[in-house]
Amino acid sequence: MTTITKERIELFIKNPLENGLTRGEQMELARIALASLEREQIRHEHAKWSDSTFGCVGPIGPLKHLSKEALEAAAEPDDLSEWADMQFLLWDAQRRAGISDAEITVAMEDKLKINMERQWPEPKDGEPRLHIKEPGNSPVIPDGLSTVCAEAYQVVGVMADALGVFGDAAVQKVLDNLSQQKLVHRDVLPFSLPVTPDGWVMVPKQVTPEISNAINVVGQRCTCGNCSQRLWDLLLDATQQGVNRG
């Protein structure tokens, strides 16, 4: 099989008369174009289905769903349907964010250069670990921590600097779990977290699809466009009143 290179195609486009393609190169180029067209057709059909099913929404939903599918793919890496779902969601999020393939390509080229300049530790348990940041950019790790705690502390510090999302209930829940597992103790974290009283659990402020479905099952039907959220707001208000009464 003939292999045609990017440089060869660029020469042909620049001056096709002097840099004509051989028959083998023409066939290879046709195979590449056919594969691209088939992929683009699937991408177009998925976009049409997604718009008709979910409407005009932003990229946040597909990105959050992507994280869920990634965990499922990690659990079953041989299941190609999970990989297909991840690709669909990535396409959907990119399209809804208004980001072109060309922009993604440029961003990937830039990010690859950055990644190649970084220092990376040896993989652990077959998985890559957090890159080693340049001196002065890494959080200060207290003395006396175990290796696991030190690594977790570094991850938390990097996330705190990069994301600033530690007021988020989901992040707090993760850190609560880490603390309970004695991987990261509260007194080494670079911020303070609210303490959840015994007998209480954190709940999302916004209705999740699961909560919405449960509300609809109980009510059998929803009579307004924002019924689930309104009911959830009432429940949150009632919960807060119970807290205020002590």
Annotated domain spans of the chain: 141-202, 209-245
**The pLDDT value given to residue 56:** 85
Of 1-10, 26-35, 104-113, 124-133, where does the model show the most confidence? 104-113
What pLDDT, in 10s, does the model give residues 95-152? 999 999 999 999 999 999 988 888 777 777 666 666 555 444 444 444 554 455 555 5
Please tell me the predicted confidence (pLDDT) of residue 121: 74
Burial of 25 (0-12, 13-18, 19+ CB in 10 A): middle
Q: What is the pLDDT of residue 192?
A: 45
- 8 A C-beta contact, residue 190 and residue 160: yes
pLDDT digits (tens, 9 = 90+) for 44-98: 999 999 999 988 888 888 988 888 888 888 888 899 999 999 999 999 999 999 9
> Considering the chain, what is the average pLDDT of its residues?
71
Tokens matching residue 45: 């059909």
Res 155 pLDDT > 60: no
Longest CA–CA separation in the chain, Å: 86
Question: Is the pTM here over 0.75, yes or no?
Answer: no
What per-residue confidence (pLDDT) applies to 188?
A: 43
Residue 124's beta-bridge partner residues?
127
Tokens 């707090």 belong to residue:
172
pLDDT given for residue 194 in this prediction: 53
Going 137 to 139 to 142 to 148, the CA torsion angle's sign is negative
**b/e map 131-144, b = 16+ CB within 10 Å:** eeeeeeeebeeeee
